[in-house]
């Protein structure tokens, strides 16, 4: 059934991938450049990584980003999961369309508008801008992504599992925690990871809502790049790429392995019957 | 094909005939509507302790809805459900002394077989050693001792079904609800499990309420069968009564194979009723025709195995007899089914047991034959 790809197909695939990944590759290569000049190769060195670690401003920003991402992803996942449950389980309650519309609006809202409106809100209620305003802002936009991910899992969740738990004497709330949550856990973890990454690389919304002492890594990188790209920045970006790649690979390997194991066990069970 | 088993009719167990018995479950004029749709229509039944009760009806007739009302997942729109004499409408599902085996089994996929079985006991804060003992007992009961540490997806369909049964039995509920428990199994396994279920029910002395759309299954396992049609209870009786004395064409047709001959009541003489079948110049006598009057339209329900086929008319003038032409013969090995066309154009089936090994049948296609049956072989039905 497999057809040989035509020359045109091969060329377009190669160009497409080159366009996507060549810049990243170049960035990683030049982070190991001896020279200060970004475009001239002068031999291998790891000195920019050492300098990066000694750069207090950069490290502070990285630490702020990690904390913001962790806290906002966690809260967004909890709220997103609750929203998904309400949308799936409570049927057609009054105002459901409005509710779901309001949850999903940030998905399509331009970031500049989200950022600006949040800034206006914080100013209006006289909230000191800093770490927590960034966290709140990140929760508002990543919560809808979390809700979408969890909702798509809940659609296929067999409610008779919850009923079975109740039938065996388990009150509804406990049934949720001992049956529903463990079963949908992979989706909840995906939702958390998605929210975490979204928070990690957000520049626009963070720029609007941050205050003194809460500069995130993307903001730091952006402000440094305006003064000229240094190999140090390349090093930071390479580390970020490594973190994200390892995370994504680990998650997909775990999922894949579990799937393979499940299929093998199912085959064994059918054969052994 | 006619059912081969008539259920445990030998057992002297008939609490429904004893007015001093108190029912375990009582449905009192229960109606359930989903919007305008009536899923259960003004239904009343009593189910007695230690009874194996089957709800039988085609798919979509409201059987699951009835069970879900008993388990507490749906509320009756009208009427009451009494459990042990108590109205249970205010009792949430997790406080009812009833357990249910779900049609989809609903095993917890993230728990081992043992944890699945222990789940209900844990909710009741049963001490740990007792839980372990009960789980071991349940695993032994359903013969899954070696599978306790497995997850549900590591089991075959039959094993999953047994885990679901063990889980719903672990709390020794007063009443076990089984929603098409065997539908997902192949025929052999299903038949074996049917007998296991009846044995188990007798051994444990529990009350079982099983839902099924398979009439043979209902006949095999149940003490009494309730036949349902579009949310209405049509007949409640023992398997033998349902088969031999159906109260309507619907029941007669749903359980086993039946010939329905339309006619008119020509004369009533005490218990003897004469029917004039439409389009045939004959008179059929029946011993049983409740609630009929002369000139009523009735249907004579005759089971194929109760009709004899012969080349000559029977000597005994008291049996009913009609002539016809052999239209088709289905040879099933143990039985031959003769399709005989009568003068009125209807076809009547007669099942003859092949007691001798005959390669050449004496009766063959297009022969003129006589069908005969005794007065008490059939029932006259008015609806
Ligand atoms: N929650 C519900 N909402 C609307 N209609 C329902 C609901 N549950 C069941 N029904 C309808 O009630 C009828 C009876 O369903 P059910 O009790 O599941 O039938 P059975 O178990 O006999 O196949 C069906 O026509 C079904 O569509
Ligand atoms: Mg059903």
Q: Rounded to whole angstroms, what are the CA distances from A70 to A75, A110, B168?
A: 9, 23, 42
Nearest to A115 by CA among A204, A196, A200: A204
Cα gap B116→B162, rounded to integer Å: 12
Over chain B, what is the mean pLDDT? 86
- Give tens-digit pLDDT for B147-190: 888 899 888 888 898 899 899 989 888 899 999 888 877 788 78
Quick one: B311 and B346 in the same domain? Answer: yes
Q: How far is A75 from chain B (nearest CA, A)?
A: 25
Cα gap A112→A31, rounded to integer Å: 31
- Give tens-digit pLDDT for A236-259: 888 888 888 887 788 778 777 777
The radius of gyration of chain B's CA atoms, rounded to the nearest angstrom, is 25
The reply to whether B195 falls in a domain is: yes
Strand partners, B353: B335
Regions of chain A short of the pLDDT cut 70:
1-3, 91, 262, 265-273
Domains of chain A: 62-272 (1.10.3720.10)
The reply to whether B255 falls in a domain is: no
Please tell me the residue having the least CA distance from ligand 1 atom 12. Answer: B39
Q: What is the largest CA-CA distance in chain B?
A: 77
From the CB of residue B354, how many other CB atoms can be counted at a distance below 10 Å? 13
Instruction: Answer whether B279 contacts ligand 1 (Cβ < 6 A).
Output: no
Instruction: Answer whether B213 contacts ligand 1 (Cβ < 6 A).
Output: no
Average pLDDT over residues B299-314: 87
Q: Supply the pLDDT for residue A269.
A: 59
Q: Supply the pLDDT for residue B361.
A: 66
Strand partners, B300: B261, B380
Pairing of strands B335-342, B52-56: unpaired
Quick one: B189 and B242 in the same domain? Answer: yes
The reply to whether B73 falls in a domain is: yes
Quick one: B125 and B203 in the same domain? Answer: yes
Strand partners, B380: B300
Between A163, A168, A183, which is nearest B109 by CB?
A183
Quick one: B205 and B279 in the same domain? Answer: no
Between A158, A164, A265, which is nearest B154 by CB?
A265
Average pLDDT over residues B138-151: 87
pLDDT tops 80 at residue B98: yes
- Please identify, among B249, B282, B304, the residue that sits at the C-terminal boundary of a domain: B249
Please tell me the residue having the least CA distance from ligand 1 atom 27. Answer: B60
Q: Supply the pLDDT for residue B103.
A: 86
> What ranges make up the beta strands (E) of chain B?
25-34, 37-47, 52-56, 78-83, 86-87, 98-101, 175-179, 207-212, 224-229, 232-237, 259-269, 272-277, 284-286, 297-302, 308-310, 320-331, 335-342, 347-353, 368-373, 379-381
Q: Rounded to whole angstroms, what are the CA distances from B27 to B16, B38, B50, B96?
A: 14, 16, 17, 16
Cα gap B242→B261, rounded to integer Å: 19
The reply to whether B373 falls in a domain is: yes
Q: How far is A262 from chain B (nearest CA, A)?
A: 7
Tally of domains in chain B = 2
- Please identify, among B191, B220, B249, the residue that sits at the C-terminal boundary of a domain: B249
- Give tens-digit pLDDT for A165-209: 999 999 988 999 999 999 888 888 888 988 998 898 889 999 999
Query: Can you say how many angstroms the Cα of residue A191 is from the centroid of all Cα atoms in its chain?
Result: 8
> What strands lie across the sheet with B297-302, from one edge to the other?
B284-286, B272-277, B259-269, B297-302, B379-381
Best residue among B39, B103, B177 to mutate for probing ligand 1's pocket (most ligand atoms within 8 Å of CB) is: B39
Whether the complex's predicted ipTM surpasses the cut of 0.85: no
Quick one: B236 and B281 in the same domain? Answer: no
pLDDT tops 60 at residue B1: no
Best residue among B30, B60, B215, B234 to mutate for probing ligand 1's pocket (most ligand atoms within 8 Å of CB) is: B60
Nearest to A216 by CA among A205, A227, A228: A205
* Cα three-residue angle A119-A124-A127, rounded to 5 degrees: 75
Quick one: B221 and B276 in the same domain? Answer: no
**Chain A to chain B, count of Cβ pairs less than 8 Å apart?**
79
CATH code, B213: 3.40.50.300
Quick one: B285 and B204 in the same domain? Answer: no
Quick one: B239 and B266 in the same domain? Answer: no
Could B156 and A269 be called an inter-chain contact, meaning their C-beta atoms sit closer than 8 Å? yes
Instruction: Answer whether B60 contacts ligand 1 (Cβ < 6 A).
Output: yes
Six token digits for residue B129 = 């050693």
pLDDT tops 50 at residue B356: yes
Cα gap B231→B38, rounded to integer Å: 7
* Cα three-residue angle B87-B91-B95, rounded to 5 degrees: 125
Quick one: B281 and B361 in the same domain? Answer: yes
The reply to whether B130 falls in a domain is: yes
The reply to whether B1 falls in a domain is: no
From the CB of residue B27, how many other CB atoms can be counted at a distance below 10 Å? 23
Please name which ligand lies nearest the alpha carbon of B228: 1
Q: Supply the pLDDT for residue A2.
A: 60
3-state secondary structure chain A: CCCCCCHHHHHHHHHHHHHHHHHHHHHHHHHCECCCCCCCCCCECCHHHHHHHHCHHHHHHHHHHHHHHHHHHHHHHHHHHHHHHHHHHCCCCCCHHHHHHHHHHHHHCCHHHHHHHHHHHHHHCCCCCCHHHHHHHHHHHHHHHHHHHHHHHHHCCCCHHHHHHHHCCCCHHHHHHHHHHHHHHHHHHHHHHHHHHHHHCCCHHHHHHCCCCCCCHHHHHHHHHHCCCCHHHHHHHHHHHHHHHHHHHHHHHHHHHHHHHHHHHHHHHHHCC
Could A269 and B119 be called an inter-chain contact, meaning their C-beta atoms sit closer than 8 Å? no
Quick one: B372 and B240 in the same domain? Answer: no
- Give tens-digit pLDDT for B112-139: 999 999 999 998 888 999 999 999 988 9
B28: CA distance to ligand 1 center in Å?
20
Contacts of B94 in chain A (CB under 8 A): 166-172
pLDDT tops 60 at residue B373: yes
Q: Supply the pLDDT for residue A271.
A: 54
Contacts of residue A89, defined as CB under 8 A and 6 or more positions apart, other chains included, come to: A154
Q: Supply the pLDDT for residue B5.
A: 46
Nearest to A199 by CA among A64, A103, A23, A59: A64
Six token digits for residue B371 = 């069908």
Residue A265 near chain B (CB below 8 Å): yes
> What strands lie across the sheet with B78-83, from one edge to the other?
B37-47, B25-34, B78-83, B86-87
CATH code, B328: 2.40.50.140
**Phi, psi dihedrals of residue A208, rounded to the nearest 5°:** -70, -40
Quick one: B216 and B268 in the same domain? Answer: no
Contacts of residue A16, defined as CB under 8 A and 6 or more positions apart, other chains included, come to: none
Contacts of A169 in chain B (CB under 8 A): 94-95, 120, 123-124, 171
- Please identify, among B208, B223, B249, the residue that sits at the C-terminal boundary of a domain: B249
Cα gap A243→B87, rounded to integer Å: 61
The reply to whether B7 falls in a domain is: no
Quick one: B237 and B264 in the same domain? Answer: no
Nearest to B94 by CA among B36, B173, B203: B173
Q: Which domain holds residue B24?
A: 15-249
pLDDT tops 80 at residue B270: no
pLDDT tops 50 at residue B219: yes
Cα gap B182→B201, rounded to integer Å: 15
3-state secondary structure B266-278: EEEECCEEEEEEC
Contacts of B106 in chain A (CB under 8 A): 158, 160-161, 163-164
Q: How far is A249 from chain B (nearest CA, A)?
A: 24
The reply to whether B178 falls in a domain is: yes
* Cα three-residue angle B309-B314-B320, rounded to 5 degrees: 80
């Amino acid at each position: 059934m497999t057809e040989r790809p035509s020359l045109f197909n091969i060329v377009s695939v190669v160009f497409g991938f080159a366009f996507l990944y060549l810049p990243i590759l170049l960035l990683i290569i030049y982070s190991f450049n001896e020279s200060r000049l970004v475009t001239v190769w002068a031999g291998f060195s790891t000195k920019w990584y050492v300098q990066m670690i000694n750069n207090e401003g950069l490290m502070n920003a990285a630490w702020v980003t990690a904390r913001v991402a962790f806290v906002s992803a966690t809260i967004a996942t909890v709220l997103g999961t609750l929203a998904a449950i309400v949308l799936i389980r409570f049927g057609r309650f009054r105002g459901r369309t409005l509710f779901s519309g309001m949850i999903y609006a940030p998905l399509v809202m331009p970031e500049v508008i989200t950022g600006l409106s949040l800034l206006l809100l914080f100013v209006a209620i006289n909230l000191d801008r800093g770490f927590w305003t960034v966290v709140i802002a990140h929760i508002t936009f990543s919560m809808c992504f979390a809700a979408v991910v969890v909702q798509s899992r809940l659609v296929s969740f067999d409610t008779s599992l919850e009923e079975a738990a109740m039938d065996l004497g388990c009150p509804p709330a406990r049934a949720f925690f001992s049956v529903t949550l463990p079963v949908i856990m992979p989706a909840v973890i995906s939702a958390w990871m998605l929210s975490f990454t979204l928070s990690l690389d957000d520049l626009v919304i963070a720029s609007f809502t941050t205050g003194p002492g809460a500069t995130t890594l993307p903001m730091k990188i952006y402000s440094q790049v305006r003064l000229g790209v240094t190999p140090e920045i390349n090093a930071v970006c390479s580390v970020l790429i490594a973190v994200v790649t390892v995370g994504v690979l680990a998650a997909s390997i775990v999922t894949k392995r579990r799937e393979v194991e499940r299929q093998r066990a199912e085959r064994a069970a059918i054969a052994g019957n | 094909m006619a059912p081969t088993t008539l259920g445990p009719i030998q057992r002297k167990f008939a609490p429904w005939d004893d007015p001093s018995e108190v029912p375990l479950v009582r449905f009192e004029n229960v109606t359930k509507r989903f919007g305008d749709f009536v899923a259960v229509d003004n239904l009343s039944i009593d189910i007695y302790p230690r009874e194996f009760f089957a709800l039988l009806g085609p798919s979509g007739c409201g059987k699951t809805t009835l069970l879900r009302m008993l388990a507490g997942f749906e509320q009756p729109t009208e009427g009451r459900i009494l459990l042990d004499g108590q109205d249970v409408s205010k009792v949430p599902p997790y406080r009812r002394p009833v357990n249910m085996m779900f049609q989809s089994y609903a095993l917890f996929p993230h728990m081992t077989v043992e944890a699945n079985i222990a789940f209900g006991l844990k909710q009741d804060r049963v001490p740990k050693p007792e839980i372990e003992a009960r789980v071991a007992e349940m695993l032994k009961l359903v013969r899954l001792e070696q599978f306790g540490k497995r997850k549900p997806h590591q089991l075959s369909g039959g094993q999953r079904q047994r885990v679901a049964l063990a889980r719903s039995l672990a709390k020794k509920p007063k009443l076990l609800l089984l929603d098409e428990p065997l539908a997902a199994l192949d025929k052999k396994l299903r038949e074996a499990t049917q007998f296991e279920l009846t044995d188990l029910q007798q051994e444990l002395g529990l009350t079982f309420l099983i839902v099924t759309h398979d009439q043979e299954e209902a006949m095999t396992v149940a003490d009494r069968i309730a036949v349902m049609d579009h949310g209405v209870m049509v007949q409640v009786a023992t398997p033998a009564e349902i088969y031999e004395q159906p109260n309507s064409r619907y029941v007669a047709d749903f359980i086993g194979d039946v010939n329905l001959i339309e006619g008119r009541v020509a004369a009533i003489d005490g218990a003897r009723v004469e029917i004039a079948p439409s389009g045939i110049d004959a008179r059929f006598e029946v011993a049983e025709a409740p609630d009929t009057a002369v000139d009523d339209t009735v249907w004579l329900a005759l089971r194929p195995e109760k009709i004899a086929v012969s080349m000559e008319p029977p000597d005994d003038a008291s049996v009913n007899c009609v002539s016809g032409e052999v239209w088709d013969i289905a040879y099933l090995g143990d039985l031959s089914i003769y399709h005989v066309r009568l003068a009125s154009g209807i076809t009547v089936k007669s099942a003859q047991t092949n007691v001798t090994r005959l390669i050449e049948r004496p009766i063959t296609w297009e022969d003129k034959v006589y069908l005969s049956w005794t007065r008490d072989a059939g029932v006259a039905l008015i609806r």
